[in-house]
A and B are shown apart, each in its own frame.
Chain A
Amino acid sequence: MKKWAILFLLIALQIPASVKAGEWSGYFSAEGRLFFNDALHPGQREQQAAFSAQPEYHHAWEESSFTFVPFYRLDSADAKRTHTDVRELYFLWYPGAFDLGIGIRKIFWGVTESQHLVDIINQTDLVELPDGEEKLGQPMINFSMLRDWGIIDFFILPYFRERTFPGRKGRLRSAIPIDTDQARFESSAKKHHLDLAVRYAKTLDYVDLALSYFRGTGREPTFLPGTDASGNPVLIPFYSQIGQTGVELQWVTEEWLWKLEAIHRTGQGESFEAWTGGFEYTFTGLLETQMDLGAIAEWLYDTRGDKATTPFENDFMFGLRLAVNDMASTELLIGVIQDLDHASKMLSIEGGRRLTDHWKIEIEGNLFIQQNTRTLFYDLRDDDFLQLSLLYYF
């Protein structure tokens, strides 16, 4: 990783004759997390405060660009959450008929809101937030061809990033801590296994369709029981070699957005399928105001049932997204995911409001309700929290 970084910085400094001068942007953030209940697991700190920074350097020429986005977080409670990452560090060449990107990038695939099944290129930076939306930078060569019949993307992924997990002192962790230092791999090449992916995407009038295939180290680990150096029980992540076929489908008609994501995965135990499907309906100009309200409903299913490695083996998600459309761009998203086989549910809230051209506040929170020993959020049952962040953008 470090060698890549140095190489790219050297190349960047060598290139003269810029078309658009390089520019810095990005943000600093200070956040506090309030947990409503006392910590459940031994060693956990009660409350958490953190600072993070994500500057962004971008330099564009006529048909190419260079991007560098480092990230740093300092956490008051959890040493595992204090971490540095290179989110992006890459060259992009776009002469017209194709895009060629080389370096560390973030790529998103998917259409649904409640979870992102198909999205597999980047590893989840799980210490950031339990919703898994934050991702680690992924080294890659990406060749994207633009044709009348669609866009086809090829990915060569030469290095694997391990998932991050909260440490012993952190909240929002499993009862038995996860020891990432002992991570095991099915492939003898370990993190250097060459992973490959391809994705085809096409828009046909009101339908956006994408098909993808990934072959390589699965981003989602399973866990093996073990002990750490002091003999305490730990969970050891195990990364299998998998093959995953993905489908993304979206159909737009007036106020409705119909969405489907489905995967078929082999190599991680028995092969299985999982899907998320549903709709988003938008009420534009709610109650004769400038506000828009979106109603989201999705069904989440995994054919492994209770053996699924995700908490969403047969669940229903309902959410409301309010966009106030005021000067401050106030937004609020409230969602509940109800387990259809058990009583358990998870409530989540996300919101933001701009204070000035540079300052913004955000809230984020989760409630884990009626969790029982058979649900995967059981260990988080006392980790209901609300997080308030103050961000400075530049």
Chain B
Amino acid sequence: MFGLDLTAILTQDSLLLLVFKFFFVVSALLYCLFAVVVIRQIVVMKNTLMTTFSPWLQIAGYTHLGLAIFVLLLFLVVL
């Protein structure tokens, strides 16, 4: 592509892959912070409007946070 062997460049240049890995891990970390904010948002919303569905939303929030942490660990291990 474009006259360059990108595959060769990427597989041989581990520094570039390290940069990508850093990008993925930092993004995952920021996303975990976002997931924490979502949980806080759910708590505030739940205290404003109390319904029978609110506990399920809280479970969804914690599940979302759990998935975010799992993805962060996945990026650290797999990449």
* Bound pair (A, B): no
Residues on B lying within 8 angstroms of A by beta carbon are none
